[in-house]
Amino acid sequence: MPDNTNKIGISGLAAYLPPYRVWLEEWCDWTNSHWPKIRDVVGRSFRLRGPEQSVYTMAATAVLRLIRQYDIDPDDIGFLGFGTESSTDNSAGAIILKGMIDRALVADGLSPISRSCEVPEFKHACLGGVYAMKGALRYLATDGRGKKAIVVCCDIAEYARGSTGEPTQGAGAVAMLLEADPDLAVVDLAASGSASDYRIMDFRKPMVRFCGQNRDESHHVQDFPVFNGKYSTTCYIDETLHAIDDMYRKRGLTAIDHMRSIQTVFMHRPYRRMPETGWAIAYLFALGKGGDADRAELAGYCDTAGVDLGDVLREMQVEPDVLEYATPETVHMDPFPLTMAALQAFRAEAAYEQEVLAKLAMGGDAIQDLGNLYTAALPAWFAAGFEHALEQDLDLRGEELLTLGYGSGDAAEVIPFIVADRWQEATAKIRFKEALAVAVDLTEAQYVAMHDGRRVTGLDYVPRAEFVVDRVGNQDERQFQDLGIEYYRYVG
């Protein structure tokens, strides 16, 4: 537990999701994909950013909602951090959001955000939002004492049609209010664990991808990543294990005892199966490091899988060099083949429901309709989870929630959250389900056109209480240049 005399954490959450929705069951019909597998591995639906939306409009809308829903005095905001891997300006960061929000606040008769406000942008794949949150907490603990901080996580996850990543697309933003004596949860950075290692081509976005893109019908730049699905899964599992080990070393805890005691876990979720696999593998590794009874449990899974316990334990003790798998010849190989075999047996046991699925269940149903939100995936799960707990009338006060953020490339952070006494009042203001309820279902033709950056007809949606891209500059003259600059408008 953190020292309650000096607690800092999260007091509120607010979300914005673009309305354009694709049901994965229908997508399976369009693409001749197997719906039962997609349902079990990926989820139910995903969102696309629309013609008048960008990463900046979505992020700014989420922040403005946060300010209004929690009645924040803009003059108290001393830190506005932006976690994203989808920004399209290589110079300016969160200052773009501040400018948009300031104009909307003033038009509403309110004061703008404090001029004495830091406006950094944080980028590290899907972990940028967690790094932004840590930066905000450190600001509040040092030179920002007495102020409030806002971190907004926003991304656009898009993949080429026909690729393995296509059903895992998504878009959206989640803003977080951070302050001392928080209403929602204390963030215990002192007890957190970190890990990082360079992975060469694990989900990268080199600038060469943008060369030659035709933007005649849309201002959007298509941001398809360079990725290798099996290798990315290997990186996720490996970095998760290292970050968890780092946390347990700092806290002096026995991994398997703590993992069994924890009731709720939130992890980075690129698709439904990934956090399940990550937490399950961590549980099996913890069994291998536990006592005789723990190893006996692991032995049962090994026997069912037809693998030798001793061989599995030896595999767990050898730290693989994941870079060896970053070649065309090895990218589909698994550094933990015996452990993965034991995992398949573990999934068929009742213990899997208790130790994995039940711990990932809070808010788990709602987020099946998000797709991958990259940096916003983890805070979106927080929001859905807290609302779920409120609906179920759970008593979470003082409970530890374990969170794990991950970013390709590759890094991970494991951070304990301690639920605050006033979490129910703060949760009532999140309105995550309200944000999720605004939806326009796309036809196949509309989806294809919107995805490919072409004009879309028949969209039954009128923006309301959100920012939109009004136009994009195209002048490149000696006396005036605004080529590629987005101009924004708030639609009240």
76 contact partners, CB below 8 Å, separation of at least 6:
114, 147, 148
- Whether 164 is covered by a domain: the verdict is yes
Please give the pLDDT value at position 460: 86
- Whether 457 is covered by a domain: the verdict is yes
CA distance 269 to 364: 10
- Whether 459 is covered by a domain: the verdict is yes
**Taking CA 323 as the corner, what is the angle to CA 322 and CA 328, rounded to the nearest 5 degrees?**
110
pLDDT tens per residue across span 394-416: 999 999 999 999 999 889 999 99
pLDDT-derived band at 4, boundaries 50, 70, 90: very low
> CB burial class (10 A; 0-12, 13-18, 19+) of residue 329?
exposed
Torsion (CA) 55, 371, 238, 162 in degrees, nearest 10 = -100
Q: What is the number of structural domains in the chain?
A: 1
Task: Give the structural domain span for 458.
Answer: 4-185+423-491
Please give the pLDDT value at position 215: 65
Report the CATH number at residue 96.
3.40.47.10
388 contact partners, CB below 8 Å, separation of at least 6:
362, 363, 365, 366
* Mean pLDDT, range 37-54, rounded to an integer: 96
CA distance 193 to 174: 23
Q: Name residue, tokens 């963030």.
A: 187
* Mean pLDDT, range 47-52, rounded to an integer: 94
Question: pTM of the prediction?
Answer: 0.95
Please give the pLDDT value at position 200: 85
Cα–Cα distances in angstroms (integers) from residue 435 to residues 343, 384, 419, 420, 424, in the given order: 36, 11, 23, 24, 19
pLDDT tens per residue across span 168-221: 999 999 999 999 999 999 999 999 999 999 988 788 888 777 777 776 677 787
- Whether 393 is covered by a domain: the verdict is no
CA distance 374 to 157: 7
- Whether 486 is covered by a domain: the verdict is yes
Q: Name residue, tokens 């200052």.
A: 95
Please give the pLDDT value at position 208: 75
- Whether 293 is covered by a domain: the verdict is no
Of the chain, the end-to-end C-alpha distance in Å amounts to 43
- Whether 88 is covered by a domain: the verdict is yes
- Whether 343 is covered by a domain: the verdict is no
